[in-house]
Amino acid sequence: MASDRPRVLSGIQPTAGSFHLGNYLGAVRQWVALQETHDAFYMVVDLHAITVPQDPAQLRANTRLAAAQLLAAGLDPDRCTLFVQSHVPEHAQLGWVMNCLTGFGEASRMTQFKDKSAKQGAERATVGLFTYPILQVADILLYQANQVPVGEDQRQHIELTRDLAERFNTRLGQTFTLPEAYILKETGKIYDLQDPTAKMSKSASSPKGLINLLDEPRTTAKKVKSAVTDTDTVVRYDVENKPGVSNLLSIYSTLTGETIAELEKKYEGKLYGALKGDLADVMVEFVTPFRSRTQAYLDDPETLDSILAKGAEKARAVAAETLALAYDRVGFLPAKH
Ligand code: AQP
């Protein structure tokens, strides 16, 4: 594997059965493209998943399902390293070191924690949920990643990663690469189809605005056709005044490669129904083969597990080297084997 390429690292949680359109357009689609130009490490972040309660059998199934969806989306194990986070114990090990470098106030400012803990009641939130951004810092630094392809909601965590890497390097000597967020303007935030000012999210209050890629295509088409727009009739990209239509245009444009300007022209003089109907067709065309490719990987769990085993081995080789350096810098006495 070429190692003179810049490195990317990213992860996705196995917390819902299906990926949603926000996960795909905000992150996974970029992962697929970046494996061609970068030394790419992608993982299913099961350690992050248990920051909220998980049924063990379901978590195992969802971990395989997440890997199957990543492969179905186009990740190629010969072009990237695909693995499961818990298969590489160095994540938790470096996570602890980074915990000890993070200020309590600094961690308290993470808006994702505030949002997520508010949803489930702050009292019930786990300490793991509070510190998950710091585990994410370790995830990224272990691979000396240059770029981290994620959605807009993760920007603050990449900033935290840079801050902690810099702090560690300054106090203990140059150890970690400072990563940059790789966030596309057009798809960094995909919005809920029923509430186009809120992020599309698996924990939205209603499933109507959430497009799950593994849903029945009929359901998907229906959700697109009943997307909330506005009382105006002009198909125009204007996030401020027409968030619903703008969201549909972003999704349409990304999936088909047609520019927003081309789409505005195409729907000139037409009603929103025409835009929604066509986008529903585009979505169905996209999800139908995605669903069958995912199923094909699930039908062959041995191949899937062996892809993940090879990925973990490759990931560990890199992670172990970084952890050893970090442990040495911290001053841990080396273990004699
Ligand atoms: N709406 C979105 N638009 C763009 N990118 C998004 N991502 C998530 N939602 C959007 C990006 O997807 C990647 C994986 O995120 P995750 O592992 O946090 O997946 P999730 O738990 O399914 O994401 P949710 O739905 O956002 O979870 P909750 O409801 O728990 O908050 C990340 O790169 C993320 O930015």
Task: Check if 82 has its Cβ closer than 6 Å to any atom of ligand 1.
Answer: no
Q: What's the confidence (pLDDT) of residue 94?
A: 98
Q: What's the confidence (pLDDT) of residue 116?
A: 81
Q: Is 265 a catalytic residue?
A: no
Active-site residue among 119, 202, 208, 225? 202
Model-level pTM? 0.96
Q: How far apart are CA 48 and CA 131, in angstroms?
A: 10
* Residue 197 token pair: 């000012």
Q: What's the confidence (pLDDT) of residue 337?
A: 79
Task: State residue 231 phi and psi, 5-degree precision.
Answer: -85, -10
Task: Indicate the SS3 state at residue 199.
Answer: strand
Give average pLDDT by consecutive 10-residue segment, the chain, 337 residues. 83 96 97 98 98 96 98 98 98 98 94 83 88 97 98 96 98 98 95 96 90 97 96 93 97 97 96 96 97 98 97 98 98 91
Is-contact 179 60, C-beta < 8 A?
no
Per-residue pLDDT reduced to its tens digit, 164-217: 999 999 999 999 999 999 999 999 999 999 999 999 999 887 899 999 999 999
Per-residue pLDDT reduced to its tens digit, 83-114: 999 999 999 999 999 999 999 999 999 998 88
Q: What's the confidence (pLDDT) of residue 53?
A: 93
Please state the atom number of ligand 1 nearest to the C-alpha of residue 45. 17
Is-contact 96 140, C-beta < 8 A?
no
Give the C-alpha distances (Å, rounded to integers) separating 152 from 113, 186, 190, 191, 254. 15, 10, 9, 11, 16
Q: What's the confidence (pLDDT) of residue 334?
A: 92
Q: Is 202 a catalytic residue?
A: yes
Q: What's the confidence (pLDDT) of residue 1?
A: 47
Q: How far apart are CA 258 and CA 47, in angstroms?
A: 38
Which of the listed residues 9, 113, 153, 246 should we mutate to test ligand 1's pocket, taking the one with most ligand atoms within 8 A of CB?
Answer: 153
Q: Is 199 a catalytic residue?
A: yes
- How crowded is the C-beta side of 195, counted as CA atoms within 13 Å? 10
Nearest residue by C-alpha to atom 13 in ligand 1: 23
